[in-house]
Chains A and B, each alone.
Chain A
Amino acid sequence: MALIKKLPTDLKIDFMGRRKFFMAFSILLLVMSVVLAVTRGLNFGVDFRGGILIEIRTTAPADISSLRSRMGALGLGEVSLQEFGSPTDILINIQKQDGEEKEQMAAIELVKSALGAEVAEYRRVEFVGPKVGSELMKDGIYATVFALLGIAIYIWLRYEWQFSVAALLALTHDVIATIGFFAVTQFEFNLATLAAILMIAGYSINDTVVVFDRVRDELRRYKSWEVYDVLNMSINVTLSRTILTSFTTLLALIALFLFGGEVIRGLSLGLIWGIVIGTYSSIAIAVPLLFTTGVRSPVPEDEEENGEEAAGLIEN
């Protein structure tokens, strides 16, 4: 009945031997992410950019090009329209208007009157002032940095410093790669996306911890082994765990992405990408970085090296 039995158990994949390849791939990924984020930029949503967002449901399938030309004629600057999940749902993005709050409200009224009778329902009307937008961005950056540091400190307390450094670098890798993902796809980058990035940091570390925990145990257990071999073995032994835990979470997230509605599509997509990249970085970046930072077996206090028993004693 349990299909899990069919999975191979004694894998001996040489992950460590390919570490230079992984490293090169990741560096390329990061460089491209940064370059794209700078040159192409992110498609910031109204949360960060400031401005006005209106979601309408029309009485009949909307004629976007006619709507677009009518909106363009209002003289409100840049106005973008897109279909949002169904032909009767339209998202209207309007740039921030010059002037005070009054001018923003006036712009909303102007759009409402220009839309007129086609609109069956105003589903959302959002206005975010530029001040709030930049603050939200600042808070988001702080939150991400604090989360990464908080996790690194925790890992440092529980393990050796090398684990903490490796985890911090791997998580930063995931965060930057996710920003790159949004730069490539140009999916809207909003508050929910930022939350997703933060959670990727919090979730991606799970897989890393699974391997790290094992590495720590095995280093104590096989003190005479080469660290290189211990790392390789640890990845292999925990591989099914690393992949299966990510897989179950992915299952739930795919359901969320497909059925959770347009509003949180960005959030679920960010999480999906983050979990894939996080699983990769746990195996291919975090553990090899342990080797690079020179993690070592603890100095033996006495010469007892009785596999099972020694491991059992050290268990907390």
Chain B
Amino acid sequence: MVQFPKWQVFAIVGVLVLGLYYALPNVFKEQTVEAFPSWLASDQINLGLDLRGGSYMLLEVDLEAVEKEQMTDLVENIRSILRSASIGYQNLGIQEGGASFTLRDTTDEMVSRVRSMIAQIDGGLLVTSSDGTFSVVYNDQVRQQRRISVVNQSIEVLRRRLDETGTKEISLQRQGENRILIQVPGVTDPEEIKTLIGKTAKLTFHLVDQNADPYSNSAPVGSQIMLSLDEQANGQPRRYVINKRVMVSGENLVDAQATFQDGQPVISFTFDSSGAQRFARVTQDNVNKPFAIVLDGRVISAPVIRSPILTGSGIISGNFTAQSAEELAVLLRAGALPAPLVILEERTIGAGLGEDSINAGKIASVIGMVLVVGFMALAYGFFGLMANVALIANLVLIVAVLSLFQATLTLPGIAGIVLTIGMAVDANVLIFERIREEIRNGRGPVMAVEAGYKRAMSTILDSNITTLIAAVILFQFGSGPIKGFAVTLIIGIITSMFTAIMVTRLLIVTWLRRRRPQTLGI
């Protein structure tokens, strides 16, 4: 232990020099660092939202809503198949999460015919029947795949929408099966972001059922009553009876732009070729009839088709302001979310609080440091000073590792660093106490130092590994800022083992060789 091979000395000094090099950019202002030549280390510590201010939102993709919608589609599908084959049925609807109906003709022949007709709708359907009563669900594999693709698609759409805002550094992460975490640094009023994620923005075009009375309580089969997005003068929304069948949908849009028509903000849109064809056909067949433009289940407007639109582009007029037209255009360009998103958690931290936290953290670190350094120097004299050098080296290394790996430093992370300051000298206390014990047992300086390091080692390893176990588990289960606490602790435990054992040993051994003291003075 008193012997130090040359390569070990080089390795220790090398690690310290590298540590200084990577920690250095944090001393300068951000602008100064940006002006550094590219070959120089220029990564500063990445501050968490709780320190720099910003918004954090945890969203959940509402998969139940998607499944329900798919079941509704399935029911409509079955209805049209049975109708076109003129097969009598009753009680068609959703029951216990599946489409269910009963045939009037319950002969085996009819049952198996209907079975094969339904199986053709989708290969992933599971059909069960008894006494002519059918129950149809999607199998687990199909449902699972759909869930995954719905979540992926949601992330994709969100990314496109958020990119449009031009806010830098928005981070989108998937969490668990159906959650999405959005982090927006610097934004302290997340309203704009929320309007972007709050709408599914599903745009559909429908024919209007002009024969039905929109003020009756129920609509004819195949139609439904929908309210308008804006309100009339009396504060009530308009009512429409809308044909459920989607004639053209927003999926076929290739572009949408906010613009003006007769001084009114409107949105101009362009369909892809298949969308354009369908749009042309519908408008040709329904000239002089109203055509409803529906967004997320509310009617934006229902203009009358004056003449067939064959070019595949058109205008959505409605009661827009310049801003709401722009917002809707962004949403339409980015595409519809496949499912509604629910905000489960939202935290916004003001830049002022973040700055105060950084300052408080700095002060606490410095004072903690001064207390510990002072105590070590008083308690152990020269040896204490060596431990203090190691402690400072440890801080430099923590900063270097945080910068190098761009780990996020949070407020609890600063607490982790302060805790590490207190814990880092523990190893030295253990070693020095052991050395004292060896001296009491009558060993000479060199032998006492040798034995002190050697014997304290297993205790130091065991105690650091157990703390590491807790820190790693904390990292695994912790969320947000708490993860930051675990990160600095993990880094601190590892770097402190290096500095408290290797660095102090190198210092003390070098001193022993040079001075050859008769007593150690501890």
Interface residues of A (CB under 8 A from B): 1-5, 9, 55, 57, 100-101, 105, 121-129, 131-132, 136, 139-140, 142-143, 146-147, 150-151, 154-155, 158, 191-192, 194-195, 198-199, 201-203, 205-206, 209-210, 212-214, 237-238, 240-241, 244-245, 247-256, 258-261, 263-264, 267-268, 271, 315-316
Q: Which residues of A contact B470 (CB under 8 A)?
A: 147, 150-151, 198-199, 201-203
Cβ-defined contact, B477 with A245, below 8 A: no
Cβ-defined contact, A241 with B466, below 8 A: no
- Known pairs A151-B466, A198-B473, A237-B437; A251 contacts B422 (CB<8 A): yes
A-contact 0/1 string along B148-188, CB 8 Å cutoff: 00000000000000000000000000000000000000001
Q: Which residues of B contact A136 (CB under 8 A)?
A: 479
Interface of B is mostly: helix
Choose from A143, A238, A251 the contact partner of B477 (Cβ within 8 Å).
A143
B255 lies within 8 A of chain A by Cβ: no
- Known pairs A132-B58, A260-B360; A143 contacts B422 (CB<8 A): no
* Chain B proximity of A101: nearest CB distance (Å): 5
Choose from B347, B454, B458, B482 the contact partner of A125 (Cβ within 8 Å).
B347
Choose from A2, A125, A192, A252 the contact partner of B521 (Cβ within 8 Å).
A2
Cβ-defined contact, B422 with A250, below 8 A: yes
Interface of A is mostly: helix
Q: Which residues of B contact A195 (CB under 8 A)?
A: 412, 474, 478, 482, 485-486
Cβ-defined contact, B380 with A205, below 8 A: no
B390 lies within 8 A of chain A by Cβ: no
Q: Which residues of B contact A249 (CB under 8 A)?
A: 419, 422-423, 426
List 8 contacting pairs A-B, 8 Å CB cutoff, sorted by A: A9-B440, A126-B347, A154-B465, A192-B415, A214-B459, A255-B371, A256-B368, A315-B458
Kindly list the 4 A-B residue pairs having the minimum CB-CB distance in the complex, ordered from nearest.
A202-B470, A252-B422, A261-B360, A249-B422
Q: Which residues of B contact A105 (CB under 8 A)?
A: 194, 343
Cβ-defined contact, A267 with B469, below 8 A: no
Q: Which residues of B contact A241 (CB under 8 A)?
A: 429-430, 433
Choose from A4, A124, A125, A209 the contact partner of B380 (Cβ within 8 Å).
A4
How far, in angstroms, from A136 to B478 measured CA to CA in the complex?
Answer: 8
Interface residues of B (CB under 8 A from A): 50, 58, 60, 188, 194, 342-350, 352-353, 356-357, 360-361, 363-365, 367-369, 371-372, 375-376, 378-384, 411-412, 414-415, 418-419, 421-423, 425-426, 429-430, 432-433, 436-437, 440, 454-455, 458-459, 462-471, 473-474, 476-482, 485-486, 489, 521-522
Q: Which residues of A contact B353 (CB under 8 A)?
A: 55, 123-124, 263
Cβ-defined contact, A209 with B462, below 8 A: yes
- Known pairs A260-B360, A260-B361; A245 contacts B466 (CB<8 A): no
How far, in angstroms, from A37 to B381 measured CA to CA in the complex?
Answer: 46
With CB as the reference atom, state the residue of chain A lying closest to B455.
A315
How far, in angstroms, from A192 to B412 measured CA to CA in the complex?
Answer: 7
Interface centre among B344, B372, B425 (most CB of A within 10 A): B344
Choose from B378, B418, B454, B473 the contact partner of A150 (Cβ within 8 Å).
B473
Q: Which residues of A contact B426 (CB under 8 A)?
A: 206, 245, 248-249
- Known pairs A248-B376, A315-B454; A1 contacts B521 (CB<8 A): yes
With CB as the reference atom, state the residue of chain B lying closest to A57.
B352
- Known pairs A2-B380, A245-B430, A249-B419; A316 contacts B458 (CB<8 A): yes
- Known pairs A2-B383, A136-B479; A251 contacts B375 (CB<8 A): yes
How far, in angstroms, from A158 to B458 measured CA to CA in the complex?
Answer: 10
* Chain A proximity of B62: nearest CB distance (Å): 11
How far, in angstroms, from A3 to B432 measured CA to CA in the complex?
Answer: 13
Cβ-defined contact, B474 with A251, below 8 A: no
Choose from A132, A155, A210, A248 the contact partner of B345 (Cβ within 8 Å).
A132
Interface centre among A125, A146, A256 (most CB of B within 10 A): A256
Cβ-defined contact, B415 with A256, below 8 A: yes
Q: Which residues of B contact A194 (CB under 8 A)?
A: 482
How far, in angstroms, from A254 to B367 measured CA to CA in the complex?
Answer: 9
Q: Which residues of B contact A210 (CB under 8 A)?
A: 430, 459, 463
How far, in angstroms, from A268 to B454 measured CA to CA in the complex?
Answer: 33
Choose from B379, B458, B462, B482 the contact partner of A192 (Cβ within 8 Å).
B482
Choose from A3, A127, A202, A213 the contact partner of B459 (Cβ within 8 Å).
A213
- Known pairs A143-B476, A203-B423; A253 contacts B482 (CB<8 A): no
Q: Which residues of A contact B467 (CB under 8 A)?
A: 199, 202-203, 205-206
Cβ-defined contact, B462 with A256, below 8 A: no
Cβ-defined contact, B473 with A129, below 8 A: no
How far, in angstroms, from A195 to B463 measured CA to CA in the complex?
Answer: 19
Cβ-defined contact, A143 with B371, below 8 A: no
Interface centre among A4, A9, A214 (most CB of B within 10 A): A4
How far, in angstroms, from A147 to B474 measured CA to CA in the complex?
Answer: 8
Cβ-defined contact, B352 with A261, below 8 A: no
How far, in angstroms, from A4 to B440 measured CA to CA in the complex?
Answer: 13
Cβ-defined contact, B347 with A124, below 8 A: yes
Cβ-defined contact, B419 with A252, below 8 A: yes
- Known pairs A127-B347, A245-B429, A253-B419; A267 contacts B412 (CB<8 A): yes
Q: Which residues of A contact B360 (CB under 8 A)?
A: 259-261
Q: Which residues of A contact B486 (CB under 8 A)?
A: 195
- Known pairs A245-B429, A253-B418, A271-B419; A263 contacts B479 (CB<8 A): no
- Known pairs A151-B469, A213-B459, A260-B361; A255 contacts B415 (CB<8 A): no
How far, in angstroms, from A158 to B462 measured CA to CA in the complex?
Answer: 8
Cβ-defined contact, A248 with B425, below 8 A: yes
Q: Which residues of B contact A248 (CB under 8 A)?
A: 372, 375-376, 422-423, 425-426, 429
* Chain B proximity of A225: nearest CB distance (Å): 18
Q: Which residues of A contact B188 (CB under 8 A)?
A: 122
Q: Which residues of A contact B371 (CB under 8 A)?
A: 251-252, 254-255
With CB as the reference atom, state the residue of chain B lying closest to A55.
B353
Question: Beyond the given A206-B423, A248-B425, A261-B411, could you list 19 further A-B residue pairs with CB under 8 A, ordered by the A residue number?
Answer: A4-B436, A5-B522, A100-B342, A123-B349, A125-B348, A129-B344, A143-B477, A146-B477, A195-B474, A205-B463, A209-B466, A213-B459, A251-B368, A252-B368, A252-B372, A255-B365, A258-B364, A267-B415, A268-B415
